[in-house]
Amino acid sequence: MAENKQPSQLHFTYEKAEGYGLVHATGARGALTPGGDIMFELFSEAGVPPEEEVHELNPDGSLGRLVDPAPDKETIQVLRRLQVGVAVSLEDADKIADWLKEKVVEGQARCAVIASMRQEEQQDA
Protein backbone atom coordinates (compact mmCIF):
# COMPACT_ATOMS: atom_id res chain seq x y z
CA MET A 1 0.00 0.00 0.00
CA ALA A 2 1.38 3.38 -1.05
CA GLU A 3 2.10 5.81 1.74
CA ASN A 4 0.70 9.37 1.39
CA LYS A 5 3.72 11.56 2.04
CA GLN A 6 3.25 15.19 3.08
CA PRO A 7 5.24 17.61 0.83
CA SER A 8 8.13 19.29 2.65
CA GLN A 9 7.94 22.62 0.82
CA LEU A 10 5.38 25.11 -0.45
CA HIS A 11 6.44 27.25 -3.42
CA PHE A 12 4.81 30.69 -3.81
CA THR A 13 4.93 32.58 -7.11
CA TYR A 14 4.23 36.32 -7.06
CA GLU A 15 2.49 38.13 -9.90
CA LYS A 16 1.51 41.80 -9.91
CA ALA A 17 -2.21 42.28 -10.53
CA GLU A 18 -3.38 44.49 -13.37
CA GLY A 19 -3.47 48.01 -12.02
CA TYR A 20 -0.82 47.26 -9.38
CA GLY A 21 0.86 50.40 -8.18
CA LEU A 22 3.08 51.50 -5.34
CA VAL A 23 1.52 53.98 -2.92
CA HIS A 24 3.19 56.01 -0.19
CA ALA A 25 1.29 56.03 3.11
CA THR A 26 1.76 58.19 6.18
CA GLY A 27 -1.24 56.83 8.06
CA ALA A 28 -4.35 54.70 8.08
CA ARG A 29 -7.96 54.96 9.14
CA GLY A 30 -10.67 52.36 9.28
CA ALA A 31 -13.08 50.26 11.32
CA LEU A 32 -14.56 46.82 11.77
CA THR A 33 -17.05 45.76 9.12
CA PRO A 34 -20.45 44.33 10.09
CA GLY A 35 -19.07 40.91 9.07
CA GLY A 36 -16.16 41.18 11.51
CA ASP A 37 -13.36 42.00 9.07
CA ILE A 38 -11.14 45.05 9.33
CA MET A 39 -11.51 47.61 6.55
CA PHE A 40 -8.92 50.35 6.40
CA GLU A 41 -7.66 52.98 4.02
CA LEU A 42 -4.06 54.09 3.69
CA PHE A 43 -3.52 57.80 3.20
CA SER A 44 -0.71 60.24 2.57
CA GLU A 45 -0.66 63.69 4.12
CA ALA A 46 0.32 66.98 2.56
CA GLY A 47 -0.49 70.64 2.88
CA VAL A 48 -3.67 71.67 1.11
CA PRO A 49 -2.66 73.14 -2.25
CA PRO A 50 -4.39 76.31 -3.37
CA GLU A 51 -7.05 75.98 -6.04
CA GLU A 52 -5.39 78.84 -7.92
CA GLU A 53 -2.63 81.44 -7.59
CA VAL A 54 -1.96 84.90 -8.93
CA HIS A 55 1.62 86.02 -9.60
CA GLU A 56 3.07 89.26 -10.88
CA LEU A 57 4.88 89.17 -14.19
CA ASN A 58 8.43 90.48 -14.27
CA PRO A 59 9.35 93.00 -17.02
CA ASP A 60 11.20 90.21 -18.88
CA GLY A 61 7.99 88.10 -18.88
CA SER A 62 9.17 85.64 -16.22
CA LEU A 63 7.03 84.64 -13.25
CA GLY A 64 7.25 87.09 -10.38
CA ARG A 65 6.09 87.43 -6.78
CA LEU A 66 2.97 85.62 -5.52
CA VAL A 67 0.17 88.21 -5.17
CA ASP A 68 -2.43 86.05 -3.36
CA PRO A 69 -2.96 86.91 0.29
CA ALA A 70 -1.20 84.82 2.96
CA PRO A 71 -3.14 81.79 4.21
CA ASP A 72 -4.98 81.95 7.52
CA LYS A 73 -2.23 81.68 10.15
CA GLU A 74 -4.57 80.31 12.84
CA THR A 75 -5.71 77.27 10.90
CA ILE A 76 -3.42 74.53 9.65
CA GLN A 77 -5.00 72.63 6.80
CA VAL A 78 -3.85 69.11 5.98
CA LEU A 79 -5.01 67.11 2.99
CA ARG A 80 -5.27 63.36 3.60
CA ARG A 81 -5.35 61.76 0.16
CA LEU A 82 -6.81 58.27 0.43
CA GLN A 83 -4.54 55.98 -1.59
CA VAL A 84 -6.09 52.53 -1.28
CA GLY A 85 -8.71 50.64 0.69
CA VAL A 86 -7.98 47.22 2.20
CA ALA A 87 -10.30 44.68 3.81
CA VAL A 88 -8.79 41.80 5.79
CA SER A 89 -9.99 39.15 8.19
CA LEU A 90 -8.99 39.45 11.84
CA GLU A 91 -6.72 36.42 11.44
CA ASP A 92 -4.98 37.89 8.39
CA ALA A 93 -4.71 41.32 10.06
CA ASP A 94 -2.95 39.67 13.01
CA LYS A 95 -0.45 37.98 10.65
CA ILE A 96 0.14 41.21 8.74
CA ALA A 97 0.66 43.11 12.02
CA ASP A 98 3.27 40.55 13.12
CA TRP A 99 5.03 40.83 9.75
CA LEU A 100 5.04 44.64 9.93
CA LYS A 101 6.48 44.55 13.48
CA GLU A 102 9.28 42.26 12.24
CA LYS A 103 10.07 44.75 9.46
CA VAL A 104 10.10 47.63 11.97
CA VAL A 105 12.63 45.77 14.15
CA GLU A 106 14.78 44.95 11.08
CA GLY A 107 14.61 48.57 9.92
CA GLN A 108 15.56 49.93 13.34
CA ALA A 109 18.55 47.59 13.50
CA ARG A 110 19.64 48.61 10.00
CA CYS A 111 19.33 52.32 10.86
CA ALA A 112 21.41 51.79 14.01
CA VAL A 113 24.18 50.12 11.98
CA ILE A 114 24.14 52.94 9.41
CA ALA A 115 24.24 55.60 12.15
CA SER A 116 27.16 53.81 13.80
CA MET A 117 29.05 53.63 10.49
CA ARG A 118 28.50 57.33 9.86
CA GLN A 119 29.69 58.19 13.35
CA GLU A 120 32.86 56.14 12.79
CA GLU A 121 33.44 57.91 9.45
CA GLN A 122 33.12 61.31 11.12
CA GLN A 123 35.58 60.33 13.85
CA ASP A 124 38.08 59.10 11.24
CA ALA A 125 37.83 62.33 9.24
What are the residue boundaries of the structural domains of the chain, listed by start? 24-88, 90-125
Under 8 Å between Cβ of 86 and 41: yes
Predicted local distance difference test score (pLDDT) of residue 124:
84
SS (H, E, C) 61-115: CCEEEECCCCCCCCCCCEEEEEEEEEEECHHHHHHHHHHHHHHHHHHHHHHHHHH
Ordered per-residue pLDDT tens for the chain, 125 residues: 567 888 889 999 999 999 999 999 999 999 999 999 999 999 999 988 877 888 899 999 999 998 866 666 677 788 999 999 999 999 999 999 999 999 999 999 999 999 999 888 888 87
Q: What are the C-alpha distances in Å from 10 to residues 6, 7, 13?
A: 11, 8, 10
What is the helix (H) or strand (E) element at residue 28, kind and residue range?
Answer: strand 27-32
Predicted local distance difference test score (pLDDT) of residue 2:
63
Predicted local distance difference test score (pLDDT) of residue 34:
96
CA-to-CA distance for 105 and 124, rounded, in angstroms?
Answer: 29
CA-to-CA distance for 52 and 55, rounded, in angstroms?
Answer: 10
Predicted local distance difference test score (pLDDT) of residue 69:
65
Under 8 Å between Cβ of 59 and 111: no
Predicted local distance difference test score (pLDDT) of residue 73:
67
Contacts of 39 (CB under 8 A, 6+ apart): 30, 31, 32, 33, 85, 86, 87
